[in-house]
Structure 1
C-alpha cells in the first residue's frame, strides 16, 4: 500500500506547476523517514568572485613579449580586489624567458575596490623597480586605473588623485612603460 501512495505522491508532486508546493510535499514525505529538507541559500556571484580572488590568482594569458631591437619588455599582470575580509592583490611578473613570479598580497588597511586596484599596480611597479627592470608592459584588471593612467579619465576623488600621481611617478622611473 505504501508503494502505491508513494507513486501517487510522486505523480502529484511532478505535475504541480508551483515549485514551492513541490518542495513542501517533498519535505513532508522525507520527514517520515527522518530526512529533513533545508533549502539551499543563494550564493551571490560577488561572494564567489571574492573567494576566487582570495585563494586563486588566475593565470594570465600566454606572454606576449614586444620585441624592439635590443629591448625586451617584461610583463606585469595585476589584480586588486575587495572582499568582506579586506582588500588584497595578485601580481604576476613574466620575464622574457617565460619565467613567472607570482605574488598574493593582503592589505592591512581599509580600501575601496579602486584603491585596491591602484595598490596592486603600485606594488607591482615597486617590485619591478627593485628587480632592476627597465622596460615594462603592465596589464591591469581595472578600466578606471588604465584610463586614468592614459589620461582618458579624470581623477576627481582626492584619494584617486593621490594614487594616480604616485602611479605616474613610479611609471616614469622606467625607460619604456605601457599600460593596458
Structure 2
C-alpha cells in the first residue's frame, strides 16, 4: 500500500505539491510509517512522502450491514460516474470515480493488460465504471465522459460504423438495460481532470524506478 502511494506521488507530483492529499484506506499506513523502528525501504518511503501534505483516514464502507430497507433507499437514488481512458505506446488505462447518492466516492486507476486505441480505452473505462456501479447496487446512473465519440455513439447521435465500436455500444447497452435509468453526457476535459489524472496514473505507475 505504501509502495502504491509512492508511485502515485511520483507520477502526480504536481498535484501532490499543489493540494492537500487525503488517503482513504483500511490499512494503518500512517501508523506503519511513523513507527520508531521503521527502517530500510519503509523509512526511505516515509521520508519521501513527508514532503507532501498528506492526511490518512479510514475508508468507510458504502454498502455493508444496514437496517432492513436502508439499502433499497440508497440504491434507488442517482449515482454519478466520471470516466476517462488513455492510450499510448506504453499501454492503456482508465480512471473512474463513482459517487454514491450520499456522497461517498470510490476511485480507481486501472491499467489494461491489452493494447487499445484512445477511443477503445474510453469505452473500456465506461464499461468498467458501469460494472462497478451495478456491483454496488446502483439503479439510477448518470455517466460523464469527455469522449465525444463514445457519448454520441451510445446516445445514437453518431452512427457506430466500425464493427469494434458497434460491439462497445452493444456492451454498454447490455449493462445499462438492467438499470432503472441511465444518462450519458459529454463534458469538457477540464471538467474531468480527476478521472484524467487517474487514467494517466494507470499508464505510468508501473514504470517508476525505485
Deviation at residue 110 of structure 1 after TM alignment: 1.1
Distance 1:149 1:95 in 2: 23
Q: Is 1:173–2:188 an aligned residue pair?
A: no
How many residue pairs are counted as aligned between the two chains? 116
Deviation at residue 140 of structure 1 after TM alignment: 1.2
Find the partner of 1:95 among 89, 100, 110: 100
Q: Is 1:82–2:87 an aligned residue pair?
A: yes
Query: Secondary structure of the equivalent of 1:154?
Result: coil
Pick the structure with greater CA Rg. Answer: 1
In structure 2, what is the equivalent of residue 114 of structure 1?
A: 119
Gaps of 5+ in 1: 1-51, 59-69
Deviation at residue 169 of structure 1 after TM alignment: 1.1
Point out the more displaced range, 169-178 or 115-124: 169-178
Deviations 1:119-154 (A, max 9, x none): 000001111111111010100120100000110000
When residues 130 and 71 of structure 1 are mapped into structure 2, their CA distance, relative to the original with a 3 A threshold, is: closer
When residues 71 and 132 of structure 1 are mapped into structure 2, their CA distance, relative to the original with a 3 A threshold, is: closer
Deviations 1:25-55 (A, max 9, x none): xxxxxxxxxxxxxxxxxxxxxxxxxxx9xx4
Distance 1:176 1:128 in 2: 12
Bigger RCO (CA 8 Å, 6+ sep): 2
Distance 2:89 2:115 in 1: 11
Gaps of 5+ in 2: 1-7, 16-74, 186-210
Distance 1:130 1:115 in 2: 22
Deviations 1:56-80 (A, max 9, x none): 5x9xxxxxxxxxxx95211011000
Runs of 4+, deviation exceeding 4 Å: none
- TM-score normalised to structure 2 length: 0.52
Distance 1:133 1:96 in 2: 9
